[in-house]
Structure 1
């Protein structure tokens, strides 16, 4: 089974104190992404974790 074509439109982004942003992971549902962001936020570090939806690209229509 290959999940190379899986749709993972939800991103968890880490933003540091300097405004630098890094993608932490991609997820299939907003709920899943939010749970990851919440767990990372609970670690007590000074980074901000946010959930964002990617723009739909490359879809035939």
Structure 2
């Protein structure tokens, strides 16, 4: 997926207390995704977030 030509290769995932997983957003760089996690971690403990690389389709 891209946003105006920028490839969004990284996603932030959140897992809730019941084990359900949700995509928080997609980002162009790992650093950008990690910055989002860092800001979300400030909201409080007991939230689990991580960054995943999104596989790009073969061309």
Fold shared per TM-score above 0.5: yes
CA distance in 2, matches of 1:38, 1:20: 21
Q: 3-state SS of the aligned residue for 1:56?
A: coil
**Higher fraction of strand:** 2
Total equivalences in the alignment:
57
* Residue pairs, 1:15-54, within 5 angstroms: 15-54=15-54
Pairwise CA RMSD of aligned residues? Answer: 1.5
Unaligned runs of 5+ in 1: none
Unaligned runs of 5+ in 2: none
TM-score, structure 1 as length reference: 0.82
